[in-house]
Structure formats: C-alpha cells, structure tokens
Structure 1
Amino acid sequence: MAKCAFIGLGVMGYPMAGHLAAKGHEVTVYNRTAAKAEAWAKEHGGTAAPTPAAAADGAEFVFACVGNDDDLRSVTTGQDGAFAAVGTDAVFVDHTTASADVARELAAAAGEHGFHFIDAPVSGGQAGAENGVLTVMCGGGQAAYDRAEPVIAAFAKSCRLMGDSGAGQITKMVNQICIAGLVQALSEGLNFAQKAGLDGHAVVDVISKGAAGSWQMENRGPTMLDDKFDFGFAVDWMRKDLGIVLDEARNIGASVPITATVDQFYQDVQNMGGGRWDTSSLIRRLRRLDGE
C-alpha cells in the first residue's frame, strides 16, 4: 500500500480519494474549503492537511483534481503549492481536465524538482467516480505510469498511457469533441421523435439496440425525454472543456466545426439559466426554439 495525497475534493475528487483509502492506501487530503477535507478525513479515516504542500510532504503519489489551469497552477507551483514538497522520484498524477500546455509546463517543472508528472484526465462523471469505474487517459513517462497505474486502479475500470506529457489531455479533448456532437445529434433525434408524435422512450428502447446506440442514449435519453437535468456533468464544465478543445484546435490547425457550433449552443443553454444543468439539456434549447 502507498502513502498518497489527494488535492481537490470536489464531486470527483472526494469519492476518488475515498476509493484510495478503501483500498488500504494511507491518504492525506487537501481542499480549498477546509471543512470538506476535515469531513472527508472523518468519513474515511485519513488526514486533512492545511495546504497542498503539507498534503504532499512525504507522499509517494500525489493526486490532484481541481477546476482548471489556473487552479492547477495554484495548488502546484503557487504559494504553499505541492511542488515545493513533493519528494524526489515521487509521482504527481493530475486528474484535472486542463490544457495540454499546462500539462507539459508542469511536467517540465516536476522534472526540475526530481519527481514525475502524469496528466491523467478522467471520463465517467460523478457516477463513475463514486462507483470507482472511471476511464483514465494518461500522458507521461512509461516507468512513472507503471508505478502509478496499480494505485489509480482503486477508482478506475480502465487506464492507459497514451503518449508523452500532454497526451492524456489531448485524448480527453477527443472524448469531449465526440460527446458534444453526439449529445446534439441525440437531442435533435429525440426532439424530432416527440414532435412527430412517437413514444420517445419506445424509440430509445428500439434504436439503442442498433447502430445508433451509445452510452449517452442509454443513460441520458430517458431523462432527456422526461426533461430532467438536475444531475450529471454541468454545462458550465463542458464549456470550459470545449474552450480548451477550441484553443488546442487553433494551435494544431485542426478543423472542429461541429464542436464550435455546439459550444455556442451550450452558451445558449447558459443564457437560459442552465449552467448547472447536465450537458444533455441541449434538447431543452431545441424545445424553446420550437416554441414549447
């Protein structure tokens, strides 16, 4: 069992850190809101630290899952940041969905300090984190990954090294590109079915068994039809992710016209007051356009 630190106890990090403790790892946690770290320590038997540096001190593996590039820089290289305390040859595993640039930047900084950095964004949402079945896509060195993978397995059903630093974040961008286009198409299909007078649930039951089937259809189709969106991956978070995608697309010269369009559709949803609705709420935008 390993001595671990976990920085960031949001809807993803809180259960992920809990799975590490449940597997027998020694876990010290840090959260910007100290009360949440203390609650986690009481629930899981670990230790709450007052700063990222204090959490990382002496840890073999330091995990992070925060909001964005700026948050990540703050808890790593900012005041009382973890990088000042991570030990030689330790492994820092970042589960934040962030830019590939910040992953490469922090990997270089980690190397200067004598430890390893793996960018390891996840897919599977809050339910995947709570159930310990996340998909983890990683960028970094093979040796560091090989050491970290058995520990990551505490909360993952699938974990793979995709390439050098930044490759994990690039893979997560591909994931979000695919989801954005798929959810918009699913929204259009289900809205079309209902406008045509079909039983939408029956439609989902039938076509989900064929070539149109997807995780989104099976898990979000029924709630989209029932106009329920008070759960899941928030539109605000998706727009943050798509902003990262669009920036990277410009950097590498890749055309992502559907992604750019759907990003604007999500802005419409935000303007409707749906920033915290699940990403499947794109269908609500179509209903408004259709005068419902």
Structure 2
Amino acid sequence: MTTSLQCSFVGLGAMGHAMAGHIANKLSSLQYPPLLAFNRTQARAKDLKKTHPVQVATSLEQVASSSDIIFSCLLNDGAVSETIDAMFPHLKSGTILIEQSTISPALAQSYAKKAKEVGVTYLACPVMGPPSKAVSGDLTVLMAGGNTEVRAKVMPLLIPVIGKKVIELGQDDVAESLRLKLCGNFFITSVVEMVAEGMTLGEASGVGQDKVKELLDAVFPNTLLGIYADRMLNNTYKDQIAFPITTAKKDVAHILQLAKDSGAKLPITEIFSENADKVLSDHGNYDLTSVVGNLREKAGLDFDLKKKN
C-alpha cells in the first residue's frame, strides 16, 4: 500500500456504520488519508465523523472518482444496483470494489464482469454476524474474486479490523461467497424456526417455555439457541430488532432461489417463510424471532403468550 491510498465506505446502516468506523481507525493508524464516508442519508455520515477520523462524501461521484478502494454494505439488490450504477461511469481504472451486501449470486457475477471490462476489480465479501459482532469487530468475512495481489492489498483492512476470520473462496467466481453466505443464513433462519417450535411445544404442553430455555442453556451453552430463546421468552422481538423480518425475507428469497437452481429441497426454510409472512402481515416488521408468535397462535396461545379465553 502507498500513503496516497484513498478508501471509501458506502452504506452506513447498522452493519456498515460499525465496519466503517473500524476501517477509519485502521487507516488513521497507518497514516493514510481519512476514510471517505457516504450514506444516502447524510446525517449518518456526519454522525460517524463525530466519533471517527472520516471525511464526509457528498456524492457517489465524489466517492468513485477519488477512491482506490471502495467498501459498500447496502440493504438489498436494488440498493446495490442503484449505487454501483451511479459510481461506474466515474470509477478509476485499478479501483477495487469490496461489496459486502447479501445479494443474489447472479447480481454479483454481473457486476464482476462489468468491472473487469473497465479495469476494476470486484470482490464479493459478505459478512456473517449480527450488528453486535460488527461493533466488536468480530465478524466472519467471506471473500471471493480478486487475484492474490488484490487480496493481499485489502486483507489488512479486513482482518483483524472488522473480523477475526476470513474464509477465502475462488478467485474466478465471485458468486461463491454469496452462495456460502446464503448457506449461513439458511442456518440462522432454520435455527430460529427450530427454537420457536420447541419453545411453543414446551409452553403448549405445560412444561413452560422458561424451562425449555433453561434446558437449551444447559445442553447447548453459549450458542444461538439460547440467544434466540431469550428473545422469544422475553418478547423483545418488538423493540430490539437485530434482524428485521423484511431483511430475513429478502435473504430467504435468495436462499430458496439458490436451492431451486441447485436442485435442493429446503422444507424448513419454506415453513419459516410462511410464519414470517404471517407475522409481517398481521403484526409488523419485528425481529425474525417473532415467528414464535405465529406458532403460539396456532397452538391456542396469543401472540405474546397469554392464554386465549
């Protein structure tokens, strides 16, 4: 790396805000130019500047025309397309795009191809972990695309900056990291569905969901099972939203498409999707653990677990 290297970060949501902060601090420690931070709602970038060494970018054109490495972490395929399309005409040859959103593998492939045609490198680097892991810098980074030289250039800005672990996949197909991310999100949604069913079974059968939670903590200590069971037990899914249903549904759509393309069957994902749809329709965009409410209602309980008359 050279001291003239300019990095930018686009997308300062719950995940991006934390990751951008860590990268800004790393750049400062290396005496590199301040991170250029851009968000559609500029207030988010200004908030980041209050606590970290960043420069607020006022447009995507500014980001594209002045950056050597651009990180982006956006909500969905549409936001990624809108952002990259806006930057593409202004990108410098040799720029490295590090796209960290969870998008369809096909979309990642299409942008990797377009990037190569104009002398730009596209790295698909989605991350695994909730916002709390982003804050603590303990995400898992999935990397596909880019040659050995490019990876060596960007790795010090990823590990151990935003995460402690990187899983490197193929250099020729950026879609590999998105496929792996969707496998990861399959496990997340499946665990939520499984815990929700088990908690409901315990309560409906008279054992009590509190005892199910106690059992999970004893048999599977310090795992996601206990974390999700706690959210269901305490009904925090309404006001402590770590993974909104709409985001989960977006990922589930990609998971089911990947399964269809691969000839795989995912019945638990289909069941989770049905429960999520019902909660979203009848109650709102709660945390994905709120699917337990729909299962409770099916078992003769109300959504938040009080007995129906």
**TM-score greater than 0.5 by the shorter chain:** yes
CA contact (8 A) 1:101 1:166 kept: yes
The aligned residue for residue 31 of structure 2 is: none
Distance verdict in 2 for CA 1:214–1:245, change over 3 Å:
farther
Q: Post-superposition shift, 1:141?
A: 2.5
Secondary structure in 2 aligned to 1:291? coil
The residue aligned with 1:117 is: 122
Greater shift in the superposed pair: 162-171 or 32-41: 32-41
Pairing partner for 1:187 from 183, 192, 196: 196
Paired with 2:253 and 2:222, the residues of 1 have a C-alpha distance of 24
Q: Which residue in 1 is equivalent to 2:164?
A: 157
Cα 1:92/1:264, change in 2 over 3 Å: same
1:287 is paired with a residue of what secondary structure? Answer: helix
Name which one, 1 or 2, has greater alpha-carbon Rg.
2
Alignment of 1:235-254 (within 5 A): 235-254=245-264
The alignment's TM-score, normalised by the length of structure 2, stands at 0.86
Deviations along 1:89-135, one digit per CA (max 9) or x if unpaired, are: 23111111100011001111111111211111112111111111111
Aligned residues: 287
TM-score (norm 1): 0.91
C-alpha distance after superposition, 1:232-283 (max 9, x if no partner): 11111000111111222222322222212211111011112231x2111111
**Percent identical residues:** 26
Aligned-residue Cα RMSD (Å) equals: 1.9
Contact in 1 for aligned 2:252/2:269 (Cα 8 Å): yes
Shift in Å, 1:209: 4.2
1:75 to 69, 72, 83: 83
Give the partner amino acid of 2:284. G
**Cα distance, 1:43 vs. partner?**
2.9
> 2:39 matched to which residue of 1?
31
Deviation at 1:202, TM superposition (A): 4.4
> What amino acid sits opposite 1:181 in the alignment?
S
1:269 pairs with 2:269: no
Runs (5+) with no aligned partner, structure 2: 29-33, 302-309
- Aligned to 1:55, what secondary structure does the other structure show? helix
- Tell whether the 8 Å contact from 1:140 to 1:161 is kept in structure 2 after alignment: no
Task: Please tell me whether the aligned partners of residues 200 and 299 of structure 2 are also in contact (alpha carbons under 8 angstroms).
Answer: no
- Picking from 43, 48, 54, the partner of 1:46 is 54
- AA paired with 1:33? T
For the 8 Å contact 1:48–1:55, the answer to whether it is kept is: no
By how many angstroms is 1:14 displaced? 1.0
Q: For the Cα contact (< 8 Å) 1:7–1:30, is it kept in 2?
A: yes
